[in-house]
Structure 1
Amino acid sequence: MAVFQAAMYAGAWFSPKIKQGIEGRKELLKKLELSLPALVNGRQVAWFHAASLGEFEQGRPVMEKFRIRYPDHFILLTFFSPSGYEIRKNYGGADHICYLPIDTKKNAMRFVQLVKPQIVFFIKYEFWFNYLRELRENNAYILSFSTIFRPGQAFFKSYGGFYRKLLTYFDHILVQNQESLDLMHQIGINNCSLAGDSRFDRVSTIADNVIDLPLIARFLEGKPCLVAGSVWEADMQVLIPALNALKEPLKVIIAPHEIKPEEIATWRKKISGSSVLYSEYKKNTDNQPYNCLIIDNIGMLSSLYRYGTVAYIGGSFGSGLHNILEAATFGLPVIFGNKGYHKFQEAKDLILEGGAVAVADSNEITQLLSNWNHNPEIRMAIGDISRNYVVSRKGATDKIMQETEKLLDR
């Protein structure tokens, strides 16, 4: 772990995000020791930990149901990554939100002794040795949920004894799919069960509680719209030529994964037709029409899909596909790149069921969009597949809460 911490400090010279995480952890434990006891005020503590924003969205429905079921508990939410903490540091569903101190023996001991959690929830991939050991020694209940395992992970290698030991610290592990459950049983871990992915519950809640965005409705003028969500430069290199080649009118909303003004300015120069930033469009009083609206803020995307007829989800021409379920829950056909989606079960499922298409290049995107423009009944049928896929997989949150109640109510 000392090597990991040193690597973080070295990385801060090259990455603003890593630097932000280091700055956010400065004197963190000392600040918590001064403030947290008064905030907790003798209540039992439920600690939820999310690596980043995506894991937070998985954990959110569980936190919110936990709050209803156990209203007297103090909910602590921690993040590892700035991309989660900075966006959700004001989330009202937790009593206190902070970074997770780096997983050293000393930090884990101080943090656990301070927080004294009755129950801890680690979301999806989080396996921190010192924290797990310290929590077990202090008799906290430990759950992992929406967890997913793959054969190539260290847990299942001949040298993976240390990693397998981490799994024994949990009271229960609730996994996403049957493959994960089978892998756990193969290495003798039986304190686990199949619950599914709580993201399905989260995106269903978003669809059931839609937010009206009058400016977006005005921009659309009743025309079909492609919502391009969480896109990167690699996505736009493929998407822009595809959009420029379309002969039919199509409104486009682009929501970058990261707001980089210079990069967005370059995209606008390459896009044929008129484009406008959302921040500018809000000030537009002359009702000038635009073809492309670029969202230059964070937090709107999940509500934007409601206004789309088709979704392109970014990340799959780079390091990995972003959340496709937020679009699928609104009944949109989903398009994404054919490279970085294979480790995402929902992407493979939706391709197999016919609700999503993985594309190799601009020509394929143009052909899809043209076909769906000319045949809206086909587009809507594909969208129904996406929506039904989400609806059929709801319920993980209730299963997670059942295991929670077994621990807390016995």
Structure 2
Amino acid sequence: MLFLVVYAQVEWGVPPVFLDKERPMIRRRLYSTLLYLLLPALLLRLLWRSLRAPAYRERWRERLGFYNQPSGPATIWVHAVSVGEVQAAQPMIRHLLLRDPAARILVTTTTPTGARRLGELFGDRVAHLYCPFDLTPVVRRFLARVSPRLAIVMETEIWPNLLAECERRGIPVLLVNARLSQRSASGYKRAQPLAGESMRRLTLIAAQTQADAERFIGLGVPAERVAVTGSIKFDLQLPASLTDQAEVMRRCWGSNRPVWVAASTHEGEEDLLLQAHARLRERLPAALLVLVPRHPDRFDRVAALAQRRGFRLARRSAGQACCDQASLYLGDTMGELVSFIAAADAAFVGGSLVPTGGHNLLEAAAVGVPVIVGPHVFNFLEVTRVLIEHQAAVQVRSVDELTDRLHLWLTDAAERARIGENGRQAVAANRGALKRLLGLIDPYLDGLSAAAPTT
């Protein structure tokens, strides 16, 4: 949202005086004004998304700070944008629940898929609301209703008004598992000093890498408020039944055929992956692609695309058998991605052939499946670097390179096993971030017995 200020200055010719470091209230008022102007578009976007994913129409008033269900005060508020952040926050939330069973934990998400995954993981052990828009009256309604005594935000979510209101109410805000790419840091610098002013309101930043930490400090965050913990995504917890689930899945696909999974794919990427699969099948006619789009509202469109390209399709959601003649299996369900990956011979992680920034490679590495990514991995630079250095992943830049790498791995079991074992070792060697992070959080939890902040 901070980029609204940049757009206003660059695109609309807003005088630079509004970004003057001597005028903090004017800066935030400008930001709020722009957000108010965009509010109809934000609501229309929810409506548009609800045409394909009806859950976006449900509980939409929560985003404006209005609530239908009674909800008492929360001891700890955790914000996790979507599925990936919820998954990464899972061990931390379990620690919070174990440490103080009486604590009431609220988790907010932005997407319904994140809410659904939260329910699958925790049921009614944690409360859920949709995160409010960053408008001062909305934020005040939210905080008055929830009254959190500690806020923990996953990765990088910076809201000027919410941070200002938390500061006013004396609510510590911890930004954990934080990452800040060079690209994002450059954008925030264009929004200085509003960006720096907002980030300085954070009580603590637990950064994934030293480079992330230095970028936060470069934006004006005091160095004593920034710590490097590593990525808690290396501390992922796999389901105890995963091996059994993968064996059942593999029998469904065919135990003796080569299988690769394309995980968390995006618009414009599936067409490239289908090209690679068509070329691969010219060399390995029995090869099966398990295609798992990132967003559920695109499942039907991807199915139609595959059929137009001439692939015989089986869909997981329909319980369709994956016969020998099927060349593509559509993973159009939620919560099964890690099972698909564990059952495959090789994995491609999406959002990387198109400039989305990539997704998490670690689930594949942790289960010993060799990983391929495209050129666009700026959201997971450090994880990608670690896995490539350990020879557990390969980066490709074209459909031809992807096809060649898949052919090599799917025809050479020894090489496939070597790369997979490297992945397991890389994940094991980088565990420990969760312990370091919890060491930073626990002193704040110790202080929760103090009086709740006033409203």
TM > 0.5 fold call: yes
Give the counterpart of 1:266 among 305, 323, 328. 305
What is the match of residue 348 of structure 1?
A: 385
The equivalent residue for 1:164 is 196
Question: 1:375 and 1:173, CA in 2 relative to 1: closer, same or farther beyond 3 A?
Answer: same
TM-score (norm 2): 0.79
Q: Which residue of 2 aligns with 1:36?
A: 71
Find the partner of 2:136 among 83, 105, 116.
105
Amino acid at match of 2:206: L
CA contact (8 A) 2:360 2:380 kept: no
Aligned pairs for 1:79-90 within 5 A? 79-88=109-118
Cα deviation per residue 1:142-181 (whole Å; 9 max; x = unaligned)? 2110001234526873762221122222222110001122
Aligned residue among 315, 320, 342 for 2:351 = 315
Comparing 229-238 and 303-312, the one that deviates more? 229-238
In the alignment, structure 1 residue 255 sits paired with structure 2 residue 289: no
Q: Which amino acid aligns with 1:237?
A: D
C-alpha separation between the residues in 1 aligned to 2:187 and 2:439? 27
Counterpart secondary structure, 2:153: strand
Which residue identity does 2:114 align to in structure 1?
G
1:219 to 239, 249, 253: 253
TM-score (norm 1): 0.87
What does residue range 336-375 of structure 1 map to in structure 2 within 5 Å? 336-338=373-375, 340-345=376-381, 346-375=383-412
Offset at residue 336 of structure 1 (A): 2.1
1:184-223 maps to which residues of 2 (within 5 A)?
184-186=216-218, 187=220, 188-202=222-236, 205-206=237-238, 209-210=241-242, 212-213=244-245, 214-223=248-257
Q: Is the 8 A contact 2:314 2:320 kept in 1?
A: no
The 8 Å contact of residues 240 and 271 in structure 1, kept in 2 or not, is answered as no
SS in 1 for 2:268: helix
| 1:66 matches 2:96 | yes
Q: Which moved more, 1:147-156 or 1:18-27?
A: 18-27
CA distance in structure 1 between the partners assigned to 2:151 and 2:44 by the alignment: 33
Distance 1:400 1:335, change over 3 A: same
Which range moves more in the overlay, 12-21 or 192-201?
12-21
Shift of 1:323: 2.1
In structure 2, C-alpha distance between the alignment counterparts of 1:29 and 1:378, rounded to whole Å = 54
For the aligned residue pairs, the C-alpha RMSD in angstroms reads 2.8
Secondary structure of the residue aligned to 1:344 is helix
Paired residue secondary structure (1:297): coil
Shift of 1:229: 0.9
Corresponding residue SS for 1:190: helix
User: Structure 2 residue aligned with 1:234, among 260, 264, 268?
Assistant: 268
Greater Cα shift, 101-110 or 370-379: 370-379
Identity of aligned residues (%): 23
What residue in structure 1 maps to residue 24 of structure 2?
A: none
Distance in 1 between residues matched to 2:116 and 2:213, nearest whole Å: 34
More helix by proportion, 1 or 2? 2
Q: 1:176-195 deviations in whole A, cap 9, x for unaligned?
A: 00112233445433212111
Q: Aligned pair 1:333/2:333, yes or no?
A: no
- Is the partner of 1:117 in helix, strand or coil? coil
Shift of 1:361: 2.2
Unmatched 5+ stretches in structure 2? 1-31, 448-455
Distance 1:399 1:351 in 2: 24
Residue in structure 2 matched with residue 298 of structure 1 by the alignment: 334
- Which residue in the other structure is 1:25 paired with? 60
Kept after mapping to 2: 8 A contact 1:142/1:170: yes
